[in-house]
Amino acid sequence: MKFRLTKAEWDAMETADARKVMYVLQADGSYQLPLLDYVDPAPLRNALDREREEARVAKEKVTTLEAEVTTLKKDTPKDVQTLRTAHDNEIKTLKDTTDGRIKTLQGELEKRLIDSTVNDLASQMTGTPQNAEVMKPHLASRVTVVWEGDVPTVKVKATNGTVGNALDDATKTALKKEFVENPVFGAIVVVSKASGGGAAGASSGAAGSAGASGGVKALKDMSGAERTALYQADPKAFNELVAADKAAQRESAMAPRPPLVITR
């Protein structure tokens, strides 16, 4: 016998069936055996069915999530590495571009600093623009720019290329003195501009001029530097000395010579 019958099931039972009278009508319209020690398994069965359904749904979700995790583990590292590589390449490109621009600007600034320094020194050490141009390459080889952080400093180099102290009044004077005392540049450098002393050209010019009129210093007694300086400072006096020197040579050539004496 069933513990619970629906109304349709109860109506379908024959009236003569003794079991029919054993069922009691319930509030919901069903019929139920009035058993005192009976525990209806329906709620438990329903609960079990719900648990089974929930377990099934959960298992499906777990299966789906496991598949997604497997896919992520398989594909994501590649995507991350691709993105990281592209990012690193972009950063490197930007850095190289920026470093190149900075290097170009630094080079332009270094050139301007050196050119300005060399022009200043050359103009101080020479008497003409032509001589200044001659001195510029030599001066440029003796100065350089050293960067201390973002600050450029012009420094003096020794003849062997060693970088020395920064260019200031003291090192500038020493550098000019070095060129003034070098006989190679004697015909180009003007002492008065280079070191503040008397001008070699002016002094030799005055002496040469005096030599032309008073014999203080003749052209033959001057050094090459003194002759050049005199020509630059006073071309007229220089030409007078040249004429006087030629006249002296002619006079010497025409002077009578003592007779040749042969002794036995």
Question: Does residue 232 register a pLDDT over 50?
Answer: yes
SS3 98: helix
Given a contact cutoff of 8 angstroms between Cβ atoms, the answer to whether 237 and 228 are in contact is no
* Nearest residue to 1 (alpha-carbon basis) of 29, 21, 25, 26: 21
- pLDDT tens digits, one per residue of 174-223: 988 888 888 788 777 875 454 444 333 333 333 333 343 344 367 777 77
**Inter-residue contact 147 to 106 (CB < 8 Å):** yes
Tokens, residue 6: 């629906």
Are 249 and 218 in contact, with CB atoms under 8 Å apart?
Answer: no
For 150-164, give the DSSP string. TEEEEEEE-TTS-EE
Where is 102: in which H helix or E strand?
Answer: helix 42-125
Predicted confidence (pLDDT) per residue in 88-97, tens digit: 888 988 888 8
Q: What pLDDT was estimated at residue 248?
A: 75
Span between the terminal Cα atoms of the chain, in Å? 183
The CA distance from 248 to 236, in Å, is 18
pLDDT at 205: 38
Which distant-in-sequence residues (6+ apart) come within 8 Å of 3 by Cβ?
32, 33, 35, 38, 40
| Nearest one of 34, 190, 225, 23 to 10, comparing CA atoms | 23
Q: How far is CA 180 from CA 29, 42, 49, 257, in A?
A: 131, 121, 112, 44
Label residue 254 by pLDDT band (50, 70, 90).
Answer: low
Neighbours of 5 (CB within 10 A): 20
pLDDT at 155: 92
